[in-house]
A = this chain, B = another copy of it.
Amino acid sequence: MIISPVTLLTQDQVERIHQTSLEILEDVGLLVHHQEASEIFVNHGCLVNTETNTVRLPRSVIEHFRASIPPKFTFYARDPNFDRTIPDDAPVIVTASSAPNIIDPVTGENRRARSDDIARIAHLVNQLDGYDVFSISTLAEDASADQLTLARLYPSAKNCLKPLRISGPAADAETILRFATLVAGGEEAYREHPFITHHYCPVVSPLTMDVDSTENLLFFTEQKLPCHPSIVPNAGLTSPLTLTATLAQGNAEFLAAAVLEQMVDQGKATIYSTLPTVADIRTGAYAPGAIETGILHIGFAQIAHFYNIPCGGYVGLTNSKVCDAQSGYETSMSCVAALLGGVHIFNMAGLLDALMSFDFAKAVIDDEIALMLKRLMRGIEFSEEELALNIIAEVGPGGTFIDHMHTLEHMRTTALLPKIADREPHLQWQERGSLDTHAHAMLRAREILTAPNDAVFSEDVDARLRDEFKNLVAGDSLPPRGWESELT
């Protein structure tokens, strides 16, 4: 357990950033392209310049609505055993989402992702203990134009009992709701336990609310369904090239979106979610794997703690194209930093190439990193029994603890026992084929994906969905061609 998280800002500095964000919203204002959002702001005490579409948000308005944001957020699951609430269940580990590409698990080719890939990913995420929430990892190239979202949602919901998180075009919002209702067996049943969380990036930095994502955020907020925004400043391009200013501007952007939610449904739960980056100023490259993302997450967490709002977002991403040392250290360094900074939710898993490609081995490796994060969060258990002075005295100088009952009693709890990390002697490792982590992880993925998936819908749920939505994708997690035969 973390007794006290690391801090990189003094409390005075946190409050000065907060004040600066208020000054930004009141004096610089927000460009709001969404008409209804603009009207909501005005109806709750903000000022609009109708020529420029700039809305100014007085600090009293911000402070009033910020105060009603609850301190907790719950992800509901198709199976309530998988419900997760932050901060209580932190770290809540989520897949990173919406990559257009996938590394084909059999050929290794980097290609467009399809709905059958999503079914397999959902199956994998369902089986891996490190994961709490499945944010749909890829797009689906095979989706028909009228089922862009359904072709992702159906295989996900079908193969995974954990909470789902999705974004899609605003035009699909009603379809998602209808889909969820059919799975739950009725609207009331769904609203009691809404297993889909909706996620959007309504603010384009700097300080601009868009049309489509804002529409989505408003729709699901009006529906009183779980949703939250993410704020994505990129220092040097869309925010100033200092961490402090990026925190101040990003915080202003978060406050704008969060306060809009509160104006529609005061008391609505949300997440202080961010994906803060610093551009690689040599090339302008997007660099979400840089350590500055971890540092910024600690900063945002300090602000979120000041507001008492659960926090997190995208962290531990990587620019690497393959599962190599870079993908290992970029993924894990910012995650450990964020965890120890008191971040609650981590969209960290499965993607390579700066959110462009999913890889099954990466997802398995990140599950192991996730379990390490959870072990780290558990910290140091403390009791007189754990202190074991009597055992140390009994064993004595020069003795061994290996065969002591106290050791047996703690063998399942003290240390994480990893599944894919290699700890073999060198010779044994060589004899088993000198496999690297990527190869180990791919074997584990194959083991899972060639076994049946117990999580799938019952036949009547499936029938209801296929009756309503004609030409749904197959949505089954079948072993990729080439794997079954190799296994025999």
| Interfacial residues, chain A to chain B (CB-CB below 8 A) | 1-10, 13, 16-17, 20, 23-24, 27-31, 54, 110, 204, 206-208, 235-245, 247-249, 278-287, 289-292, 294-295, 298-299, 319-333, 336-337, 340-341, 353-354, 356-357, 362, 365, 368-369, 372, 375-376, 379-383, 386-389, 391-393, 395-402, 404, 406-407, 410-411, 414-418, 420-424, 426, 429, 434, 436-438, 441
Minimum CB–CB distance from A240 to chain B (whole Å) comes to 4
* CB-based contact A380/B244 at 8 Å: yes
Choose from B287, B291, B329, B414 the contact partner of A423 (Cβ within 8 Å): B287
Contact B401 A240 (CB under 8 A): yes
A236 interface neighbour in B206, B283, B411, Cβ under 8 Å: B411
Q: Which residues of B contact A380 (CB under 8 A)?
A: 8-9, 13, 243-244, 247, 295, 298-299
Q: Which residues of B contact A411 (CB under 8 A)?
A: 236, 241, 281
Query: Is A422's CB under 8 angstroms from B245's CB?
Result: no
Please measure, in the bound complex, the distance between the C-alpha atom of A400 and the C-alpha atom of B422, giving whole angstroms: 47
Q: How far is the CA of A281 from the CA of B412 in the complex (A)?
A: 9
Q: Can you report 25 residue pairs joining A to B where beta carbons are below 8 Å apart?
A: A4-B7, A6-B6, A20-B387, A29-B397, A30-B397, A207-B398, A240-B406, A241-B401, A242-B414, A244-B382, A248-B387, A248-B388, A281-B407, A284-B402, A287-B415, A291-B376, A319-B423, A323-B324, A324-B324, A324-B328, A325-B328, A326-B421, A328-B328, A328-B330, A356-B426
- A294 near B244 with CB under 8 A, answer no
CB atoms of B332 and A415 under 8 A apart: no
Cα–Cα, bound, A249→B17 (Å): 44
Tell which of B206, B322, B396 touches A396, judged by Cβ atoms closer than 8 Å.
B206
| A326 lies within 8 A of B328 (CB) | yes
Q: Which residue of B lies closest to A322 (CB)?
A: B436
A145 to B435, CA, bound (A): 37
Additional 8 contacts, C-beta under 8 A, given A242-B410, A327-B437: A28-B393, A245-B386, A284-B402, A298-B380, A321-B426, A325-B328, A326-B420, A333-B376
Residues A17 and B387 in contact, CB atoms below 8 Å apart: yes
Among B236, B245, B291, B353, the residue within 8 A (CB) of A387 is B245
Given contacts A326-B422, A381-B242, A421-B289, contact A321 B434 (CB under 8 A): yes
7 cross-chain pairs, A with B, having the tightest CB-CB distances, nearest first? A328-B328, A31-B397, A325-B328, A207-B397, A245-B388, A324-B436, A328-B329
CB distance from A276 to the nearest CB of B (A): 11
- Measured between beta carbons, the chain B residues less than 8 angstroms from A404 are 240
Nearest B residue to A287 via CB reads: B423
Give the most central of A325, A327, A331, A414: most B CB within 10 Å. Answer: A325
How long is the Cα–Cα vector from A241 to B400 in the complex, in angstroms? 11
Q: Which residues of B contact A207 (CB under 8 A)?
A: 392, 396-398
| With A236-B411, A415-B278: A426-B353 Cβ-Cβ less than 8 Å | yes
User: In the complex, which residues of chain B have a beta carbon less than 8 angstroms from the beta carbon of A278?
Assistant: 414-415
Bound Cα distance A240, B389 (Å)? 9
> Which residue on chain B has the smallest CB distance to residue A286?
B423
Copies in the complex: 2
A23→B400 CA distance, assembly (Å): 20
- Most B-side CB within 10 Å, residue of A10, A17, A281, A391: A281
CB <8 Å contact, B402 and A236:
yes
| Closest Cβ neighbor of A434 among chain B residues | B321
A219 to chain B, nearest CB (A): 23
Given A239-B401, A319-B421, A332-B329: A28 and B386 interface contact (C-beta under 8 Å): no
Min CB–CB distance A302 → chain B (angstroms): 9
The one of B23, B369, B406, B417 in contact with A333, judged by C-beta atoms closer than 8 angstroms, is B369
* Contact A387/B16 with A281-B417, A291-B376 known, Cβ cut-off 8 Å: yes
Complex Cα–Cα for A124 and B437 (A): 27
Q: Assess the A6–B9 pair: CB atoms within 8 A.
A: no
Question: When the two chains form their complex, are residues A437 and B332 in contact, meaning their CB atoms are under 8 A apart?
Answer: no
Inside 8 A of A247's CB, which chain B residues have their CB? 380
